[in-house]
């Protein structure tokens, strides 16, 4: 069964450093998403991406965040200058459709630790 994959599974970085989290969505999916989950809290939406553009973003997704689909398979989330409070699990998701019928499939997550 096709699945969303994410790398790395765990990333440790120093405050102020840039990190890039990588995702490979399910191959026939057209809509892509990033979420984060701070330890012990609920999953929060960051950004959605379709047709090489951001379609929606939350208040969390400020100027230090960016997303990119650099080729036909990868979808990346970049954090330019990490802060302690960016420590969280980051999930990538994809869906075949958008709008009402967007059943989303999640990757296994990348645990980001900022020291």
Partner 1 sequence: GIQVEQSPPDLILQEGANSTLRCNFSDSVNNLQWFHQNPWGQLINLFYIPSGTKQNGRLSATTVATERYSLLYISSSQTTDSGVYFCAVSSSGGSYIPTFGRGTSLIVHP
Q: Which residue ranges make up the site for partner 1 (CB under 8 A)? A: 33, 37, 41-45, 48, 56, 58, 89, 91, 98-106, 108-109, 111
Report whether 111 contacts 10 (CB < 8 A).
yes
Residue among 30 and 89 whose Cβ is closer to partner 1: 89
Residue among 9 and 14 whose Cβ is closer to partner 1: 9
Report whether 90 contacts 21 (CB < 8 A).
yes
Minimum distance of partner 1 from residue 44's CB (angstroms): 7
Query: Half-sphere exposure of residue 17, counting CA atoms within 13 Å on the CB side?
Result: 12
Minimum distance of partner 1 from residue 91's CB (angstroms): 6
Minimum distance of partner 1 from residue 69's CB (angstroms): 19
* Vertex 55: Cα angle to 1 and 79 (nearest 5): 80
Q: Give the span between the Cα atoms of 50 and 29, in whole angstroms.
A: 10
Minimum distance of partner 1 from residue 16's CB (angstroms): 26
Residue among 71 and 100 whose Cβ is closer to partner 1: 100
Residue among 27 and 72 whose Cβ is closer to partner 1: 27
Q: Give the span between the Cα atoms of 102 and 97, in whole angstroms.
A: 5
């Amino acid at each position: 069964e096709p699945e969303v994959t994410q790398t790395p599974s765990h990333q440790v970085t120093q405050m102020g450093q840039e990190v890039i989290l990588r995702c490979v969505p399910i191959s026939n999916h057209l809509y892509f998403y990033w979420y984060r989950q701070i330890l012990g809290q609920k999953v929060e939406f960051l950004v959605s991406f379709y047709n090489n553009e951001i379609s929606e973003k939350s208040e969390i997704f400020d100027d230090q965040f960016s997303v990119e689909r650099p080729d036909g398979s990868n979808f990346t989330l970049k954090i330019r200058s990490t802060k302690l409070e960016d420590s969280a699990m980051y999930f990538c998701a994809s869906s075949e459709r958008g709008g009402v019928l967007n059943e989303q499939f999640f990757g296994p997550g990348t645990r980001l630790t900022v020291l």
